[in-house]
Amino acid sequence: MKIGHITLTTPFILAPLAGITNLPFRMMVKSYGCGLVCSEMISANGLVHESPKTMDYLQSDRREKPVSFQIFGAKPDIMAEAAKIVQSKGADILDVNLGCSVRKVLKTGAGAALMKDYQLAASIFQSIRKAINIPFTIKIRSGWDASGNDAIEIGQIAESCGVDAITIHPRTARQGFGGQADWSIIRRLKQQVNIPVIGNGDIHSAASAFQMISETQCDAVMIGREAVHNPWLFQDIVSRYQKVPSPKLSLHERFDAICDYVDQSIAHMGERRACRLMRSRLGWFTRGLPNSCRFRESIRFLETRQQTFELLMNYYKTICSME
């Protein structure tokens, strides 16, 4: 699959997830065959004003390429300037968020609010397209009602403005992550535009990824929440895509990957901040393993690398002794 001039090795993509898809997590997922990784949602306003915290979101590594950086905002000139900054930092693809339904984002006219204002959305698309040369994509929802008409309209506008691909999460802005994703809207959008359509929503397994492709004829599948606690899912999906046996991840390999993620996170954000983050992350990564509830209780007060690795190794040995 191609997005603009960028060829993806596999049509399976990591979704942009606020607070999750930083560089260490993207690197982890990339190692399991993910075709494209996406950054967290980044404020266009913060980029233009060179906020140090916002600029940190643009950290990247050549080993994760191709990488897409997602921005949000509601002012065409600010969005265009932010897009230039993203391009200058080495992004392969720029993505624009039209799906976030968090109240503080909606109040600024950004995110899913843009799906109510076709004219403003078109102005943003045109301004960005004039500002950058790299491929440019958008991520949308089905709209503000269940009909999906907003998605079709925005998709057609996007194509006419030079957008290179569209990702659609077919839930309404009001649904958030509740209810069920309506995959039929993905199929309808695919029938109405001539640029790649990427499906997103309710992918819980390799089987559901291929079911989405079969039912909607989408060009690629984006995986979000399931990847948070199961980044290894990409390995299973890609193996099936390549028609090779799916390697079963051993306990040793799983813990090896977790330890590498911890070290990369410490290098990325510092020991104290990273170890505090591991209080939730390690709980996600060990979900479903024996005694995981007890392990989650033990990591509630992580502060140091030594403490983190001691608890991980003790937990690993405990599981091994049970086999």
- Kindly list the catalytic residues: 100
Distance CA 71, CA 59 (A): 14
Distance CA 29, CA 223 (A): 11
Best CA proximity match to 160, nearest among 170, 149, 152, 168: 152
Annotated binding-site residue? 116: no
Annotated binding-site residue? 224: yes
Pair 195, 159: CB distance under 8 Å = yes
Helix axes 183-192, 206-216, angle to 10 degrees: 40
CA 174 to chain centroid: 20
Determine the number of helices (DSSP H) and then strands (DSSP E) in the chain.
Answer: 15, 10
Annotated binding-site residue? 70: yes
Annotated binding-site residue? 217: no
Q: Is 111 left (phi over 0), alpha (psi -120 to 50) or beta?
A: left
Annotated binding-site residue? 87: no
Distance CA 139, CA 169 (A): 8
**Burial classification of residue 294, based on how many CB atoms lie within 10 Å of its CB (0-12 exposed, 13-18 middle, 19 or more buried):** exposed
Distance CA 50, CA 55 (A): 6
Best CA proximity match to 121, nearest among 86, 153, 165: 153
Pair 136, 106: CB distance under 8 Å = no
Annotated binding residues for FMN, written as ranges, equal 70, 139, 169, 224-225
Annotated binding residues, written as ranges, equal 70, 139, 169, 224-225
